[in-house]
A and B are shown apart, each in its own frame.
Chain A
Amino acid sequence: MPTHFLIAVLACFFFSATVVAQTSLKLPETIKVVPEALTSEPVCDPIIAASWRDAQEIDGVKIRESRRCNPDNPALIAAVVKGTNNISMATLMETDLSADTIIKEDDIDGDGDPDRITIKLEVMELNGPSPDFEGLIPTFDIAPGIQPGLWVFAPKTRGMSTENFESVRANSLLRLPSPVIRVEVGDTVRLVLENSHYLPHTIHLHGVDHPYAGHGHDGGDGVPQTSESFLLPGGQRVYEFTPRQAGTMLYHCHVQTHTHLAMGLVGMIIVEENRPNNWLQTLNVGAGHVRHPSVAIQEEFDHEYDLHYHAMDKELHEIIQKYNDPRLIARDMNRLYDITDSTEDYYVLNGLSFPYTLRESLIIVEPDQKVKLRVANTASEMLAMHTHGHKATITHYDGIEHNPIAQITRDVYALAAAQRLDLTLNTTDDGLHSYGEGIWLFHDHREKGITNNGMNPGGNVSAIVYKSYLDDIGLPKSQGIDISKYFTEEFHQRKLPVWQDLDASGSLGAAAGQSAPIIDPATRITLIDFIFGLVAGLMLYMLFARREQTKQAMLQVVSKLKGSKGNKAND
C-alpha cells in the first residue's frame, strides 16, 4: 500500500519537473503585434481639404496660410472676423455657427472697425452618457480612443451637436478648449452666456477689466456668492464690459470652480491694442495658430500662436459618464469627489494630447522670424514648459508687460495655475535664440506631463517645426521612428509593445508567456492537485474495501511492536 502511494507521488514530481526542464531549455519567443490587429487611424485626418491650408480671401477677409495637418476652417475665420451678421449666407453655411453667434456693429470711434461686439456662448457637454445605449455622445477624442467627459463654452452652434445624423462625433465647434476670445481695447463687449447645460454656470473674466456687478439681470464678476446668482439651466446672462488694458487673460466658470474649471469651462480672452481698421479674429476655435492676427501683432510679429495648457484627473471626468440623472451627477461632483485626493492623468495642449498635437499645435516657423506665443496654464499644478533648440523671451506676465530691460530669455518657462506668459520666439540662428532649422519639441518638463495617463509619449508634447521640415500634408518630416503606431487605440490602452520594431529581431519586443506552448502554469497546478486527489481517493477506497486486511495488518504491526517491546523488556 505505501508503495503505491510513493510511486504516484514520484510520478507526479517527475512529470512536473520534466515540464520545467523543457521550458527552461529555451526562453520564450518574441511575439510581434501586427498592424492588422490594431484599431488605427490615419496620422492626418483625410476629411480636411488641402485648400484649407492655403492663404486665401473670403468675403474680403484675408486669411493666412496655415500649413499644419488640421488647419482652422477658413470660412469660420472669415465669419468670426466679419461677424455672423455681416458675412454672406454661403460662407456662414460652411461653418456650424448660428446666424447670431457674433454680432459686430457700430464704429463708435470712427476708426474703421466695429466697436459694439456681441459674442454668444453656449455650455456644451462632450463625451456624455445616454440612457439609450452604452456609448458616449457627442464624442471628442483627446488622443485615439481617449474620451474624458468634458464641459466647454462653445460658440453658439446651429443644428445637431454631432457632425451629422449618422455620426456620434461632435460637430466642429464643440471641442476642448473653450475658444480663445479676442476683443479690442475700448470695445463695448456683450458676452452672452446661454446656459444650455443641465447644471448652473457663470462667467468670471479673469484679468479683464469688468464691472463688479452688472445692471439689472446682467452679469458682473461671475461669482455666485457675491455679485450675482447662479445662471440656471435654460437661462441667459449678458456680461457687458469695456476693457481698458490690453493683455492675455482668462475667462472661466465660477460655479463650483474646483470642478467646473477642470471640466473644461475655461478659455483664453485676449484684449488687443486699439488700432484703426482692426478687424479681429473674435474667436480662435481650438486655439493655436491665429490666421487673422490683429493690426498691432502684424506690426511687430510674423506669426501669433495661442497655447492653452490644461490637465485632467480622469476620475473627475468619469463622473458625468456614470449617471444620466443630473442629481446624481451633482451629488458626485459636489459632495463625493475630493480634489485634495486627485491626481492629474491627461495633459492637453489646445485641447488635445500627443499624438493629436502633431495635427494641430505645431508652431510652424521660418528662419529669422519673430513669433508671438501667448501661453496659458489652466491646470491645477505648475507647468514647466520647455522649448528644444530655442530660448524665448518672456515679455508679459499675466498680460502686463515686464520691464523691457529686465526681460528674461530662457528655455524653461514656469507658469503657476491660471498664469499667462507672452513669449517672443526668435528664430535667428545665433546659438542663443535658435540653434538652427529642424523639428524642435516643446513640452512640459514635469515628465508626467508628456504622458497620457502614464503612457509615454503623450501629453502636451508638440514641436516647433521649420517649414523646410514640413511635408505637404503638414506633418514633420521626421528621421526618427514611424509615428503611425501612436495613432492606434491599442497604444493608449497599453497593449502595444512600443519597442517591438526597434530592430529586425525584435530584441525588445514582447516575450511570449513562458509555458504556454506545452502546459500553462495554472493548468499544471490543477493537474498536480488532481493527481494528489486521485491518489488520496484511491487510498481511502483501498482502506475501506480491505478494512479487514488493514485491521489485521494493523493488529499485526501493533502486536509485533508490543512483541518487540515485550521482547526488549524481557531482554
Chain B
Amino acid sequence: MIKYITILFVGMLVINGQVMAAEDAESTDHDAHSGHDMDHGDHMMDDSDHSGHDMDHSDHSGHDMGHGDDHGMAHGDDHMMDDHSDHSMMHPGEDGHASHHGDGHHHMDDSHIMDHEGGMIMGQNFDKLPSSCDSISEEVEITVRAGREYANKFPGTMYAFDEQQWHVKPCAKVTWHFVNEDDIRHQFMMHGLPRYMYQNGMFHLEVTGPRTISGTLIVPATDETYLVHCDISQHMEKGMKAQLVVGNGGEDIPSIPGLTPYAFPDTYLHEDLPQVSNEDDDDSLLTQVDEFVTDNTPFSLIALFGVLIGLLSVPLILKLFSFRKNKVEAE
C-alpha cells in the first residue's frame, strides 16, 4: 500500500527529479528504443506463424462473435501487419517527444504498438535483460481473463480479472495473453518496472473485447510485488486490480478483491427492506410450537428454554461456588 501511494503522490517529487536526471540519458536511450521497436516488428512477423497463439481464437467461440472476423487475435493478426506498414506504427520517437505543446501527455506513446481497432501493446520486451539478471530464469505464458463475470464472486465490485495474484521467478520472461471478455475496453497495466528499460516503468496491454492481445516482458531479479490494474476510470476502484509477485514478493498491494483489505472501506448500514414473512413457513414443528407459545403466553419458547437452562445450571453454579469456598477454607 505504501508503495502504491508513493508511486502516485509522494513519489511524484522524486520521480520528477528522476525524470529531469534521466532526460539526458533518455535521448541516448531512444536510439536503443527505436532499434528495439524494429525487433518488435520482427517478432510480430515471426509470431504470425506461431501456432501457440491460435488457441485464443477458439477461446472466443463461446462468446458473442457478432463482430465476426473483425475481432481476430491481435498477436500475429493481419490487421497488425497491415497497420504496421501503413501507418508506421511506431510513434515518431524524438520528433513526437518534442511535440509542440510540450506538456508531456503523449510521451508515454513512444515505442509501442497500436492497431486500428485500438489494441495496444506497450513496454514489450523479448530479450533485453534487466541489469540485475544474468540470464532468463524461466519462460512462462499466463492467460489473464478480464470482465464483469469475474466480479460476480466479489460483492461490491463490477469488473475483475479471473485471478488476483500471479507468481513468477525473478528474471522470468513472461508472455501475457490478455483475454478481454467484455464488449468494452480493458487494460492490463503494470507499474513500477525499472524505468531504464520500461518507459515510465510500465507494461501495458489494452484491447476492446471480446478479443485477446498478447505481450511479453522480462521481470527484474529483485523480490517485488507489482500492481496490475485497469486504468479506465473506476475500473480498478471497482475491482479490476491484481498483483504480480516476483520471487518472494514485496509489500502487498491494498484493496485487491478477496486478497487485501481496502484502505478506506465503505460503511454498511442495516436497511429495513421488505421481506417475505415467516407465516407461510409453518411446516416446522418447532416454529408451530414457538408460535403457539408466543401467541398464548407473554414469553416466547426461547425465553422458557432459557429459564429451563438457568434452573438446571443452579446446582452446578452452587457446586462451583462451594468448591471455591472449600478451597479458601482449606487455605
A interface residue numbers (CB < 8 A to B) = 47-49, 51-52, 73, 85, 88-90, 93-94, 96, 98-101, 122, 124-126, 128-134, 137-138, 156, 158-166, 168, 170-172, 174, 194-198, 217, 232-236, 323-328, 331
Chain B residues contacting A47 (CB-CB under 8 Å) are 101-103
Query: Which A residues are CB-close (under 8 A) to B106?
Result: 93-94
CB-nearest residue of chain A relative to B4? A132
CB-CB under 8 A for A165 and B200, given A99-B117, A133-B9, A236-B184: yes
Q: Indicate whether B25 reaches chain A with its CB closer than 8 angstroms.
A: no
B148 interfacial contact with A, CB 8 Å: yes
A126–B232 alpha-carbon span in the complex (Å): 11
Whether B148 contacts A171 by the Cβ 8 Å rule is: no
Q: Determine the chain B residues whose CB is within 8 A of the CB of A126 once the complex forms.
A: 233
* Residues of chain B contacted by A328 (CB below 8 angstroms): 266, 268
A198-B234 contact, Cβ under 8 Å, with A47-B101, A133-B8: yes
Contacts of A52 in B (CB 8 A): 100-101
A-B pair count, CB < 8 Å, reads: 174
Which of these, B185, B191, B234, B262, contacts A98 with CB under 8 Å?
B185
Among B15, B115, B183, B200, point to the contact of A234 (Cβ < 8 A). B183
Contacts A100-B117, A131-B262, A325-B268 supplied; 4 other A-B pairs, CB < 8 Å:
A89-B114, A99-B115, A194-B184, A235-B183
Q: Across the interface, which residues of A come within 8 angstroms of B200, CB to CB?
A: 164-165
The minimal Cβ–Cβ distance linking B214 to chain A, given in whole angstroms, is 18
- When the two chains form their complex, are residues A158 and B118 in contact, meaning their CB atoms are under 8 A apart? yes
Alpha-carbon distance between A325 and B257 when the two chains are bound, in angstroms = 12
Task: State the CA gap A324–B158 with chains docked (Å).
Answer: 11
Which of B's residues lie within 8 Å of A, judged by CB?
1, 4-5, 7-9, 11-12, 15-16, 66, 87-89, 91-92, 95-96, 99-109, 114-118, 120, 147-148, 155-159, 182-185, 189, 191, 200, 202, 204, 206, 208, 231-235, 237-238, 254-255, 262-266, 268, 271
Flag if A125 contacts B101 (CB, 8 Å): no
| Cβ-defined contact, B108 with A124, below 8 A | no
Question: In the bound complex, how far is the Cα of B235 from the Cα of A138, in angstroms?
Answer: 12
Report whether over half of chain B's contact residues are helix, strand or loop; otherwise say mixed: loop
Residues of chain A lying within 8 A (CB to CB) of residue B189? 160
Cross-chain contact A128 with B234 (CB below 8 angstroms)? yes
Central interface residue in A96, A166, A170, A174, by most chain B CB within 10 Å? A166
* Cβ-defined contact, A156 with B116, below 8 A: no
Bound CA span A196–B147, Å: 11
Contact call B183/A49, Cβ cutoff below 8 A: no
Residue of B nearest to A49 (CB): B101
Query: Given contacts A133-B263, A325-B156, are A161 and B184 in contact (CB under 8 A)?
Result: no
Across the interface, A132 reaches (CB within 8 A) one of B120, B148, B264, namely B264
Residues of B with C-beta under 8 A to A156 = 118, 185
Q: Which of A101, A131, A323 has the most CB of B within 10 A?
A: A131
> In angstroms, how far is the closest chain B Cβ from the Cβ of A488?
22
Known A-B contacts A89-B87, A98-B118; A233 and B105 likewise in contact (beta carbons under 8 Å): no
Choose one: A161, A166, A324; the contact of B232 (CB below 8 Å). Answer: A161
Smallest CB–CB gap between A199 and chain B, Å? 8
Contact across chains for B102 and A160 when beta carbons are under 8 A apart: no
Residues of chain A with a CB closer than 8 A to B191's CB: 165
Given A98-B118, A129-B237; A326-B184 close (CB under 8 Å): no
CB closest chain-B residue, reference A85: B116
Provide the bound-state CA to CA distance between A133 and B8, in Å: 10
Contact of B116 with A100 in the complex, beta carbons under 8 Å: yes
Point out which of B11, B115, B235 has the most chain A C-beta atoms below 10 A from its C-beta: B235
Q: Are B268 and A100 in contact (CB under 8 A)?
A: no
The 6 closest A-B pairs by CB, nearest first: A236-B183, A234-B182, A89-B87, A98-B118, A198-B158, A131-B262
- The answer on a CB contact under 8 Å between B208 and A324 is no
In the complex, chain A residues whose CB is within 8 Å of the CB of B204: 159
Identity of the chain B residue whose Cβ is nearest the Cβ of A51 in the assembled complex: B100
Chain A residues near B231: list those with CB within 8 A: 159-162
How long is the Cα–Cα vector from A517 to B268 in the complex, in angstroms? 48
